Amino acid sequence: MKLPKQIKIGGLTYKINFIEGLTDCGSTHFDTQTILINKGQTEERQVSALIHEIIECENELYDLNLSHQTIQTLEAGLFQILNDNFIK
């Protein structure tokens, strides 16, 4: 699966950069509208990290005040649904 190099979330375009040696699976820099994904992990983990960061963006953009645990739970559920039904 080819992951995108950018994605629109809430009308904003976020660049997606795949970085070697990133200490986390992924991270988002809201000020530069950049999502970083750890290139050194499996493709499944990259997809999972991207889903997580998309939820983080929605949380920030829409002031949802979701806890990190809630974001992780939503990501795991969405990843399972997408992986089992659409990805591959």
- Reported as a single tens digit per residue, the pLDDT across 57-69 is 999 999 999 999 9
Question: In this structure, what DSSP letter does residue 49 have?
Answer: H
Radius of gyration of the chain (CA): 12
> Encoding tokens for residue 14?
């976020």
Q: Say what the pTM is.
A: 0.94
Provide the pLDDT for residue 88.
Answer: 61
What are the residue ranges of helices labelled H in the chain? 43-61, 68-85
Domain boundaries, the chain: 6-85
